[in-house]
Structure 1
């Protein structure tokens, strides 16, 4: 630990200087042990937000946060096989439900897993420093590092329905995440994917579970499955299980088409306490999903102006959507003429990939 006081560390960062590994360690240790006042932590967060951090500072911050608590260990026979996927979020983002069915452990943050992040995240919210690039990187990658991963793939969204509205801003955060992940010894890559509309066709908890199950049964929409196979294929390539991305994508397709992924999802449900009859019902070929999953009290359909063809089914509870809300939904419909139906259905959401060195 360094000999500088917390106020001196805040001043150094406020004035734009880079913090050393010892200085960052002192700050994170104080956060973890609660020997620092909240106002001082908030001041440091704001200094980082204003002045930023160079790549080595961000990596050092991430490592210190990771080591603030328990670092997980796995059986020797799992060596080289523990991987994870992280998404920056979006509308109808149900990728995890499908990818996890290839085989997974479900891990959540605990009191002993990256405790420094729990404290910093709360204070970032109240100090308006949530959007700080190094703080975002530290928060995400420290938790992944504590999982002791072999490989990590990041799905970084950009577009109208994403946190990052354009490719360049998404690429900046993706590169920071990739650099920090690889710096901690995880093979880390990122997929930059468009988020201008819903992924697949469904939004809402039960509806997304239903669509995920349909995808595992081989009926997933093209855009959803393209993203699933790209992310899964990249993970398989990064762990050395395939020689290239194309081979990885094919293995994901084969696991889904063979029904193995669906069976794994059923096993996951049963192991988490879902009754066997319900798990088997959900995974059956002609499942009546709403016999198990909750259905909203009301449903209504919006139709195209000229042909009257249904294009959206809205599930809702009371109170009903207002006439203005319904009008806005209807006006969101854009009709185009497609002469090439194959092109229409193979549009990829993937814009770019950042691969590990």
Structure 2
């Protein structure tokens, strides 16, 4: 068996066997497969989708090129994955809330991608926090604390790392088959018993239309279940930022407000509860999702989730007093400017992708892969759909390094908001459940 044989089968539309996928994935991981052959493989799958059974084979093959974690713990091992959005900081309150309810959560997360924020970048806004650790330390922290929010080590699905880099330069990122295998090869390497997927749709989502988001959600759920992992997905709205903030330290602040009961967006809290309820039901820690939501809510309101979050931060190098002094421990930008609307009115539409790009251009994301991220910059007090804005209620507060950067951000933010004299019907936060 060799790469040419596999590519020839794909070229003429012949299905590949599980052995073909295993050989090719191993070749990606060990370098037997060249970049040109990897690109041809990705393009062939992008042009001719491979179907549900083959997605399971490809996912298993990519997962098995690295280490698959195993656990000796007294509760279910659970996790969630989001397809990415603006102001999506759900992972921070969700992981410790699940742990407070008896789950173990090895939450392998990523960095910012395009206009969307990355969970690892948010965690690294906490001084001293180590987001990249080895699998042995990950297992130790999860056993001792109940959760760890960290990045995947090089031992996790190395074939995916190689194929992802090739997809990025061959315009094959959008393939549902390849997206599914990429996400799940890493998530299933965690040794999960249950997985919930937060698939975003709307102006700030990668899958902007409900049809595309539903297709991806169905593919992910079917493939995860076909691979032996209990899984459900929620289609959630990204026609506006999920939180009232966008930017790394600012989103950590909002997550801490949720964890400590001192504030936070109602939308952010509801998605946290909904995803957590699904996971507790999948893991057998709740009779159903509604009971699971009540348990997650209790973990948040009682302070149990905040206590576990503080233990996790300390275990991974952050301040031991973070939960009590988080406002003093996070970086702040030197320039803060409130942006009033040019005319008063109701917010009827938001270009959420553009809002995310404002944060990126302030320095809160990456224009190229090597860019350093400024954790302090971003947006807070973002006006939501249906809000009436005027001189007393601004569009947002900009946190920037310089006055010039704040002015440029204000221009882009004005363009991202559309106002009207009449109020608008706000889209449902959760569009659909799959699984």
TM over 0.5: yes
Identify which of 14, 18, 33 aligns with 1:17.
14
**2:429 alignment partner in structure 1:** 349
Match of 2:117 in 1: none
Assess if the C-alpha contact under 8 Å between 1:18 and 1:54 holds in 2.
Answer: no
1:132 equivalent in alignment to 2:175:
yes
Q: Shift in Å at residue 280 of structure 1?
A: 2.6
Aligned twin of 1:93: 88
- Alpha-carbon distance in 2 for matches of 1:114, 1:230: 29
Q: Aligned partners of 1:7, 1:25: CA distance in 2, in Å? A: 15
Alignment deviations for residues 119-138 of structure 1 (CA, whole Å, 9 cap, x no partner): 11111112221111111111
The secondary structure found in structure 1 opposite 2:332 is coil
Q: Distance in 1 between matches of 2:149 and 2:91?
A: 11
1:114 aligned residue: 157
Alpha-carbon distance in structure 2 between the residues aligned to 1:325 and 1:204: 13
Distance 1:192 1:300 in 2: 34
Indicate yes or no: 2:211 matched with 1:155. no
Instruction: Tell me the distance in 2 between the aligned counterparts of 1:184 and 1:121.
Output: 21
Structure 2: how far apart are the matches of 1:193 and 1:53?
27
Q: Give the structure 2 partner of residue 5 of structure 1.
A: 2
Indicate the SS of the match to 1:29. Answer: helix
Q: 2:311 aligned with 1:263, yes or no?
A: no
Unpaired stretches in structure 2, ≥5 consecutive residues:
100-146, 345-389
SS at match of 2:81: strand
- Aligned equivalent of 2:78: 83
**Alpha-carbon deviations, 1:4-45, whole Å to 9, x = none?**
432121011122221111221221122222222221121111
With CA pairs under 8 Å and 6+ residues apart, which has the higher RCO, 1 or 2? Answer: 2
Is 2:270 the counterpart of 1:273? Answer: no
Q: Residue in 1 aligned with 2:281? A: 237
1:337 deviates by 5.9
SS of equivalent to 1:182: helix
Do the aligned residues in 2 keep the contact of 1:84 with 1:149 (CA within 8 Å)?
A: yes
User: Partner of 2:191: helix, strand, or coil?
Assistant: coil
Q: Output the CA distance in 2 between the equivalents of 1:65 and 1:174.
A: 20
* Contact 1:301/1:310 (<8 A) preserved: no
Root-mean-square deviation over aligned CA pairs: 2.0
**Superposition deviation, residue 258 in structure 1:** 0.9
Q: How many angstroms does 1:321 deviate by? A: 3.7
- The match for 1:168 is 211
* Match in the other structure for 1:285: none
Match in the other structure for 1:62: 59
Residue 410 of structure 2 corresponds to residue 326 of structure 1: yes
CA distance 1:68–1:315, change in 2 (3 Å): same
Matching of residues 308-323 of structure 1 within 5 Å: 308-311=391-394, 312-318=396-402, 320-321=404-405
Offset of 1:164 from its aligned partner? 0.8
Mapped to 2, the partners of 1:325 and 1:280 lie a distance apart of: 32
* Structure with bigger gyration radius: 1
Q: TM-score, normalised by structure 2?
A: 0.74
> What is the distance in 1 between the residues matched to 2:175 and 2:403?
38
CA displacement, residues 132-158 of structure 1 (integer Å, 9 cap, x when unaligned): 111111111011111110000000001
> Conserved in 1, the CA contact under 8 Å of 2:201 and 2:208?
yes
Separation in 1, partners of 2:433, 2:304 = 28
Aligned to 2:265: 221
- Determine if the alignment matches structure 1 residue 189 to structure 2 residue 186: no
Number of equivalences: 338
